[in-house]
Structure 1
Amino acid sequence: MHAQRNFKIAIIGTCDTKLEELLYLYNHVSTISNSLKTDSFSITPVLVNIGKPSESTSHHKKISISIHSLLPSSTSYSCRNDLIATIGGALKSYLLDLVQNDKIQGILAIGGSCGSSIVADALRSLPFGFPKALLSTMASGDIKPYIGCSDTTVLYSVVDIAGLNSLLKQVLENAAGAIVGMIESRALILETVDLNTRQRKKVAITMFGITTPACDAARAVLEKNNCEVFVFHATGSGGMAMEKLILDGTFDGVLDLTTTELADEAFGGVLSAGSERLKGAARTGIPIVVSTGALDCINFGPKETVPEKYKERKIHVHNSAVTVVRTTETENKCLGEVICARLLENSRDGKRHKIRVWLPLKSVSILDQDESSFRDEKANQALQEAITAGLRDTGIQVVAKDLDINDKRFAEGVAKSRLQRLA
């Protein structure tokens, strides 16, 4: 029989202003843990103070650490924002060390705008899948600045976290139940993980609605060959999440079929994945196959949000919330050069044989094939020629196929090429 394991949950907040609410969470987590009927694990709350250090009282003895104690005593701060950033950085280092050494198994943070800002970067830096939740007064608005592309669970406090009342107690109880449930679920899964699942090669794929047939066909080939496939929707946050996971060492290989986010970054679309897109695999040296999926599109919101300079272009209304603009010959030449630059500048000569670029010569999306609305042979040719010229004699192989990207033969060929590099 295995010894009982103790899982620890960090409860984080400003104890100088929210101690009553933090202690309520602390006690409720303990109550739930004590009610769990299991011999395999227990759950213990650990209170972390990101506010001002306070005088010792019986309640404060429950505080495991004050992040202020980790800051150099001689440091001075020019403004409040500098102090907030410094505390946030210290918290991030502290939590990463705990997580990497398996000394903590979950995190629940609470805060207003200031407290949420302090914990935000720390939560974003933690591994995907690690149980983490933020209960915030800011959660009903734009929460992207706080969570980025992380899988942080976010709960809205409804009322301010300023004194216990019957409504806030229910919200706090739900937050405690959520994080305990994540820990319990994770503990049970760790006991039953299939060894075969652990041994499968992990491959990331990028997909868009108009490259779905290609992605599905490639995924089927990979899964039949004992690969675990992770599909990322190329909507900006999807590309950002994939790049982070690549750098974290999650994948054995990448099939970057859909690089459309590069067009949004370059030409003002709303689905940019930022300047780190298409760099991770080249930097880490894992095998990657890159293609040009959906580079015919610059993405915007409703049709009325399309910038004036694009109004005379070929425009496709995907639905009431998504409108796409066709890229031009000049823009596609630029995108080809971007692809070459990112692969070459981030790779080492000895690793470039692990990079391949597959070009579908007929079309790069459903909208571009045959007589569809975005068909533009000159624009496609400009993209292909820029990539072919830019990668010539670099050690990166370019494979051109006279097929549509969504042709099953193209997608299966890309997948088999990926498998060859994994072998």
Structure 2
Amino acid sequence: MTRGERAPAILLVGTGDTKADELTYMAEKIQEAGGRPVMMDVSVLGNPPYIPEHDKHAVAAAAGTTIEAIADSGDENTAMAAMALGASTLARQLHDRGEVDGALILGGTMGTDLALDVALALPLGVPKFVVSTISYSHLVPPERVAADLMMILWAGGLYGLNETCRAVLSQACGAVVGAARSAQPPRRSRPVVAMSSLGKSCLSYMVRLRPELEKRGYEVVVFHTTGMGGRALEALAAQKRFAAVLDFSLQEVANHLNGSVVTSGADRLESAGLAGIPQIVAPGAIDMVDFPTWQPVPAQFADRPYHAHNRLLASVTTGPEGRREVAREIGRKLATATGPVAILLPTGGIQQWDQEGEPLHDPESLAAFLDEMRRMVPANAELVEIDGHINSAAFSDSALALFDRWVAAGLIEPGAPAAEGAAA
């Protein structure tokens, strides 16, 4: 029987001692939607009024300890961290044995802390749905968000089951069962090249590069660097899913340095290098710092050029010293790489609106960045300067030439033959 023919098994995780009503309701809704609930209890002190398939003792054992030792820790944060380790370890074991097809985790701040670890433990393509009282909150750091995580706000979910809760919980149950029926985990029929970009209007090199790389037998995955896009790139690079990374939009590095909420986390531009993946890097849009359009311009940037992209996202540019700081950070991060590294440095500009006649044109600050970047090229990296803008054909041609040279030298896995790639 194929997955589409049998009832998908949904791992349902929560503290059964305090959330029994909600969890039993969710189990019923999963069954009604055509799924099969597999209960995992992550309670510490109490016991649920039902018998879960995987009780708190099994969760503790998966963490290499006992529930008694966890309870005796005397600290709820320490206790839940241990349960999170056990739950994520056990969830991955269940998936690898083919016993679950998706996961649905329920919680407030404590349960969400655990839920994020469980979701990260499951591979890309396995439906993972978190029902949380803090969904979409800035309390959730980007580095803890799985690349394909789904969340829904648990409205009215602080204490007790009610009609508002049922409206939310029932949606989550139907969503995860449906996702488990239709999910198609990635199949690597061609080597995958990751590329970063900041939309098509700001950075447009992918328009030329993607078809050229596909002709060479690669699948190209482009990540939108507005915080979570860079987070997904980092997460998948850490799992060694890419044959090469063309990281040409590093604006999230500048965002993080300047305290923007549009961040991918402190480890942006590090995962590919630490995994030994060949990476070709360019400083696309490092001159801009993002913030929500609906908030005031940050005080430290009040006198800087401003660009409103839409009603959600706006940007200001940094001056010479701010750009030197970004160059130093890029150099420090690339110095930790264990694989091949090259830096493409377009001397004519690094995003669409910094060209002459555009609102963010600032040749003095660009010159400061270029100067500092040249100083900061680490010993393990190759520097290629390009007399042109990052959106020019000269830049794309240089990137392709370097990529082809690395393939010929055996640094990058060759692309799949045309017939194999066409069948993918």
Q: Same fold (TM over 0.5)?
A: yes
Match of 2:420 in 1: none
Residue of structure 1 equivalent to 2:356: 370
Residues 1:407 and 2:392 aligned together: yes
The CA deviation string for residues 132-175 of structure 1, in whole angstroms up to 9 with x for no partner, is 11223444865735995323222234343755555544543332
Q: For 1:219, which of 176, 195, 210 is the aligned residue?
A: 210
- Cα RMSD over matched residues? 3.0
Separation in structure 1 between the aligned mates of residue 394 and residue 53 of structure 2, nearest angstrom: 61
Conservation of the 8 A alpha-carbon contact between 1:261 and 1:271: yes
Matched with 2:40 is 48
Q: Given the alignment, which residue of 316, 321, 329 partners 1:325?
A: 316
Aligned pair partner of 2:347 in 361, 364, 374? 361
Task: State the one-letter code of the partner of 1:343.
Answer: L
Distance 1:227 1:109 in 2: 36
| Equivalent residues, number | 399
Residue 332 of structure 1 deviates from its aligned partner by: 2.1
What secondary structure does 1:120 align onto? helix
Are the equivalent residues in 2 in contact too, given 1:161–1:168 (CA < 8 A)? Answer: no
TM-score by length of 1: 0.83
2:63 paired with 1:78: no
Does residue 168 of structure 2 align to residue 176 of structure 1? no
1:202 aligns with 2:186: no
Q: Is the 8 A contact 1:8 1:104 kept in 2?
A: yes
Distance 1:10 1:417, change over 3 A: same
Which residue is 1:268 aligned to? 259
1:305 counterpart SS class = coil
- Is 1:389 equivalent to 2:375 in the alignment? yes
Distance 1:66 1:198, change over 3 A: same
Q: Any conservation in 1 of the 2:89–2:121 contact (CA below 8 Å)?
A: no
TM-score, with length taken from structure 2: 0.83
The AA in structure 1 aligned to 2:360 is F
Query: Which has the higher mean CA deviation after the structures are superposed, 360-369 or 132-141?
Result: 132-141
Match of residue 418 from structure 1: 403
1:414 CA displacement: 1.3
Letter in 1 for 2:150: T
Matched AA of 1:418: F
Structure number with higher helix proportion? 1
Task: Assess, with a 3 A threshold, how the Cα gap between structure 1 residues 400 and 82 changes in structure 2: closer, same or farther.
Answer: same
Match of 2:222 in 1: 231
Q: Which runs of 5+ in 1 are unaligned?
A: 34-42
Is 1:379 aligned with 2:380?
no
Output the amino acid matched with 2:108.
G
Unaligned stretches of 5+ in structure 2? 407-411, 415-424
Q: Tell me the distance in 1 between the aligned counterparts of 2:275 and 2:380.
A: 17
What's 1:39 paired with? none
SS class of match (2:54): strand
Deviations 1:70-92 (CA, angstroms, capped at 9, x unpaired): 34334522332322222222222
Amino acid aligned to 2:89 = S
- State the distance in 2 between where 1:19 and 1:314 align: 54
Q: Which residue of the partner structure matches residue 17 of structure 1?
A: 18
User: In the alignment, does 2:232 pair up with 1:241?
Assistant: yes
Contact 1:120 1:146 in 2 (8 A): no
Q: Which residue of 2 aligns with 1:37?
A: none
How far apart in 1 are the matches of 2:278 and 2:353? Answer: 29
Question: Quick one: structure 1 residues 390 and 199, their matched pair in 2 at CA, closer, same or farther if it must change by over 3 Å?
Answer: same
Q: Tell me which of 366, 372, 383 is aligned to 1:398.
A: 383
Is the contact made by 2:41 and 2:52 (CA closer than 8 Å) also made in structure 1? Answer: no
